[in-house]
Amino acid sequence: MRRQTTRLPSLLIGLIALLFVSSLLPYGLAANYTVSYQLLDQPNGSTHYGLNVTVPQSLHEYYTAKSHTSNTENDFVKFVTPYALKPIADSLRQIYTEYEDFTNGALMIVHQIPYEVTTPAKYPVETIVDNKGDCDLFSFIAASIIKASGLDVVLLYYEQAAHMNIGISLQNAPQHARGNIFSVMNNNIKYYVAECTGGNWQDGWRVGECPDELENAHPQVITVEDSGQSTTGQVSASYKSLSTSSLTLTASSSFLIQGSIVTFSGQLLPNLPNENITVYIRTSNSPWTVLDTATTDSDGQFSYSWNVETGGTCNIRASWSGNNDYAVTDSPTQTITSLSTFVILLLTVAGILVVVGTVTYLMSRANHRGPLEPQPPEIPS
């Protein structure tokens, strides 16, 4: 028992040291999410395409941490994220030269996602990763893709029917709609109805068509001019299997004083120039947010300097959205600890007090002993 008691402090010290060292090491590489969608060159067409969409984990976590309330018109708009899905729109434009066909291509994608009532609302990258959703989630994806192409798109909200689809402004009436063509007017602009639900992607709803129960409805038109265009990360999209890429990230210092500058540097493989690298940050008890972006040089290297204005511990990681040849990738996560001036002052005062207390204690012990008493002389034997 005595030996176990003696070893316990050393075990605790070893455990604390191990946790401290591990906190300085970068996290493991993040996992990406990939899903494939089938496309036809046009309704009833014979040419098939397979579009591979990959969502980086950093982008997924960024959106899962954001607010998901959806009670007002402004709440609906925030779920339309054209910048994040722009690579999908760019891929569709490669095979669809007409905007009607492009719109139907976007509908083919959402028609392949299984239907499931989902609350609260989710952002498009979340729905892509979950591979399930309902009418509003499908509408957010389709509206994001279509808006990313430059088309004028709106959300159509049917409050009494608790339903949502979208409307698209086209120069000409849809040519592939079967039967009557349905549209709504808003600010003298005609928007053709596009239904986003339905599991039959090859023969599903096309732009201009409307479900029977909604033909006489009067939806609320929600414009999306102010939808998310921020410089977050992006998904990658390609019609071929993408090669693997990698991204490193190092910090000039893991510990620094508040107000100091820390420099992050990294290497993108392949060594591609002029690529945007998104830098994410997460502080204690806070979600991931975008800190800034950096650009790779001719060797695929990048650097970013940040003035750490607050104290505390934060996590930093970088992400690349990939291209037509390489998949998205995230860097390992780096941990940065910044000591605030208040903490430094407090530690300094505490150190001084410890020194003063130690000296005072030693002097008091010396005074308590008093002078040494003389020893009696030895008597010869």
- Structural domain contains residue 306: yes
- Structural domain contains residue 27: no
- Residue 168's nearest CA partner among 200, 138, 134, 206 is 206
**pLDDT, tens only, 105-116:** 999 999 999 999
pLDDT of residue 375: 59
CA dihedral 200→206→211→217, nearest 10 degrees, is: 150
pLDDT of residue 37: 97
What's the CATH code of the domain at 174? 3.10.620
All residue ranges of the chain with pLDDT < 70 are 1-30, 227-231, 340-350, 368-381
| Model confidence, pTM | 0.79
Exposed / middle / buried, residue 154 (Cβ in 10 Å: 0-12, 13-18, 19+):
buried
Do 59 and 185 belong together in one domain?
yes
What is the number of domains present in the chain? 2
The residue segments making up the domain with residue 297 are 242-361
Do 172 and 278 belong together in one domain?
no
- Which single residue is written with the structure tokens 């940050």? 281
- Residue 151's nearest CA partner among 92, 234, 215 is 92
pLDDT of residue 207: 98
The CA distances from residue 276 to 80, 293, 294, 330, in Å, are 22, 6, 6, 13
pLDDT of residue 341: 58
- Measured between alpha carbons, how far is 119 from 142 in angstroms, rounded to an integer? 19
Do 210 and 312 belong together in one domain?
no
17 DSSP assignment:
H
Sequence-distant (6+) residues with CB within 8 A of 321 are: 56, 87, 233, 234, 235, 236, 276, 278, 328
Do 185 and 40 belong together in one domain?
yes
